[in-house]
Structure 1
Amino acid sequence: MKFFIDTANLEQIKEAQDLGVLDGVTTNPSLMAKEGISGQENILNHYRAICDIVDGDVSAEVIATTYNEMIEEGEALAALNPKIVVKVPMIKDGVKAIKYFSSKGIKTNCTLVFSAGQALLAAKAGATYVSPFIGRLDDISVDGLALIEEIRLIYDNYAFETQILAASVRHSAHILGCAKLGADVMTGPLSAMLSLLKHPLTDSGLTQFLADYNKAAGK
């Protein structure tokens, strides 16, 4: 399973890249705003900076909600760097835009997916990635991981090449659940990735090993 980090924070992206497990980045307007990035040129430059750090795909989201505007904005984003994946919302014009981008060889990420039906439409249109938001489903007492399972079954039934990019991942249980169910990618905060490092027996074992070494070394 690929690991994407969901942020616009360059330091966190660098930390994940240095850890050696990062495969890509997802961003959105809210994450850009969180980092105090505003203005079209500043946003485009920030995408360029992210692409300079990572080796894999970088999802850059369109703001437009109409077909023609999505095409114009998406083509401008894709021209920034070959790593750019145009992130498009799951709406009627968005599906049409995904079909257009697919025909032009531009990678896409269909975002704001909350049902298997939406995921099926995205795959039919040729999306590179589909992003079911499992954490937001959990927030309304709907099993987000069950949606991953449904999409995996449908995609496998028909050999769709669209990759399942589990989004709105909050913690290690989400990551492991997605891995067990066969999600192709997960995207979440750095904290979720780092939480996989933690286990009390690892901590206590390392403490004991160091104590034994110091005793044997006469320290």
Structure 2
Amino acid sequence: MKFFLDTANLDQIREANDLGVLDGVTTNPSLMAKEGIRGEENIRNHYVEICRIVGGDVSAEVISTDFEGMVREGEVLADLDPHIVVKVPCIADGIKAIRHFTTKGIRTNCTLVFSPGQALLAAKAGATYVSPFVGRLDDISSDGIALVAQIVKMYSYYGYSTEVLAASIRTTQHIIQCLEVGADVATCPLSAIKGLLRHPLTDSGLATFLADYHKLNG
């Protein structure tokens, strides 16, 4: 499974990249605003900075909700760097835009997916990635992991090449659950990825090894 970092924070992206496990980055307008990045030119420059750090795909989201606007914005974003994947919402004009981008050889990430039907339409339109939102479904007492599993099974059965990018990942346990149901990618905060390192037996084992070493070597 690939790990994408869900952030626009350059320091966190560098840290994950230095850890050696980063495969890509996903962003959205909210994450850009959180970093104080405002204005179209500044946002585009920030995407370029991210692409300079990351060796994999970087999802850059359009703001428009109409077909013409999404196409116009998406083509500008795609021209910024070969690593850019245009992130498009799962609405009617978004599906139409994904089909347009597919015919132009522009890769896409269909975001805000909450049902198997939406994921089916995205795949039929040629989306590179589809992003089911795990945490947001859990927030309304639905089962986000079950949706990821349904989409993985559907794509495998029908032979769609669209990758399942599990989004809105909140915890390390979410990552493990996405792994178990076969998600291609998990996009998550750095804290959730680093949480995979933690285990009490690792800590106690290392403490024992070091204590024994110091007993023998002073």
Normalising by structure 2, what TM-score?
Answer: 0.99
1:64 paired to 2:64: yes
Residue 50 of structure 1: CA displacement?
Answer: 0.1
Aligned match of 1:76: 76
1:102 corresponds in structure 2 to 102
What is the distance in 2 between the residues matched to 1:94 and 1:26? 18
1:142 positional shift: 0.6
- C-alpha distance in 2, partners of 1:121/1:173? 29
Matched residue, 1:145: 145
Q: 1:197 aligns to what?
A: 197
Report the CA distance between 1:153 and its aligned residue: 1.1
Counterpart AA for 1:55: G
Alpha-carbon deviation of 1:164? 0.1
1:101 & 1:88 partners in 2: Cα distance?
10
Counterpart residue number, 2:167? 167
Dislocated runs of 4+, deviation >4 Å: none
**Other-structure match for 1:154:** 154
Deviation at 1:171, TM superposition (A): 1.0
- In structure 2, the partner of 1:15 is 15
1:71 is displaced (CA, Å) by: 0.3
RMSD across aligned positions (CA): 0.4
CA–CA separation in structure 2 for the residues paired with 1:157 and 1:205? 44
Q: Match for 1:84: what amino acid?
A: I
> What's the secondary structure of 1:170's corresponding residue?
coil
SS state at 2:71 partner: helix
Give the structure 1 partner of residue 211 of structure 2. 211
Offset of 1:110 from its aligned partner?
Answer: 0.1
Structure 1 residue identity aligned to 2:69? E
Structure 1 residues without counterparts, runs of 5 or longer = none
Q: Distance in 2 between matches of 1:38 and 1:132?
A: 27
TM-score by structure 1 length?
0.99
CA deviation map 1:172-214 (0-9, x unaligned): 1110111111100000000000000000010011111101100
Paired with 1:135 and 1:216, the residues of 2 have a C-alpha distance of 50
Give the Cα separation in 1 of the matches to 2:61 and 2:157: 29
The whole-number CA distance in structure 1 between the counterparts of 2:45 and 2:36 is 13
Distance in 1 between the 2:106 and 2:62 partners? Answer: 14
Q: Does 1:136 align with 2:136?
A: yes
| Structure 2: gaps spanning 5 or more residues | none
Q: How many correspondences in the alignment?
A: 218
CA distance in 1, matches of 2:198, 2:25: 23
Q: What is residue 181 of structure 2 aligned with on the other side?
A: 181
Separation in structure 2 between the aligned mates of residue 151 and residue 85 of structure 1, nearest angstrom: 20
Which residue of structure 1 lines up, in the alignment, with residue 50 of structure 2? 50
Aligned-residue sequence identity (percent) comes to: 69
Tell me how far apart the structure 2 counterparts of residues 212 and 142 of structure 1 sit (CA, whole Å): 49
**1:60-93, CA deviations, whole angstroms, 9 ceiling, x for partnerless residues?**
0000000001000000000000000000000000
